[in-house]
Amino acid sequence: MMKYNHSSQRGMTLIELVLVTLIGAIILAAINGLVKLGLDAQTAGRGSNELAYQGRFALERITDQARATASKILTPLAANTTNTGDWFAPVMYCLNAANQLIETTFPDPACGGTTVLAGNVTTFLPAIGPGPRPAAVISLTLANAGSTVTLSSSVRLGGGTQ
């Protein structure tokens, strides 16, 4: 007759405890990586959204001013300013050294106005659009922390779009 030795185990062995701890650490590290990736994506998305909001606000303000300005012949302008022409006179727009798009009065060669339309502006390009009835074409590029947004608007002085 065979005897069975039923020994009941109480608790865990050290090897089992180390294995469980190791597996738990691996799972937590993977979860931590996924959470960090999600938070980084959310931060980048917020940055892009903020740049787009600032750019849209600035373009809308400039467009409103263009529609309120009497129609006239447009002369080519230098990049980053409307100071070399009276496109929107008595208002003008320029990019200052702090990468801020400023609304000021015409002419203001120092771009010393205090109304900031948008920050983080890397390029402000006023240009004359093609066509028999040329329009003001305003392009903005905003950049911050890896996010870049480029926006453009075309409007005829005195109203209308191209």
Q: Which of 111, 58, 63, 107 is nearest to 86 (CA)?
A: 107
Amino acid 6: pLDDT: 59
User: Is pLDDT above 90 for 84?
Assistant: no
Output Rg (C-alpha) for the chain, integer angstroms.
Answer: 30
Q: How confident is the model at residue 27 (pLDDT cuts 50, 70, 90)?
A: very high
Mean pLDDT of 136-158: 87
| Interatomic CA distance for residues 151 and 118, integer angstroms | 12
pTM tops 0.85, yes or no: no
Amino acid 101: pLDDT: 92
Q: What mean pLDDT value characterizes the chain?
A: 84
Residues 6+ apart with CB under 8 A from 136: 66, 74, 87, 126, 127, 128, 129, 154, 155, 156, 157
pLDDT in tens, 39-55: 877 777 787 888 889 99
User: Is pLDDT above 90 for 11?
Assistant: no
Q: How confident is the model at residue 56 (pLDDT cuts 50, 70, 90)?
A: very high
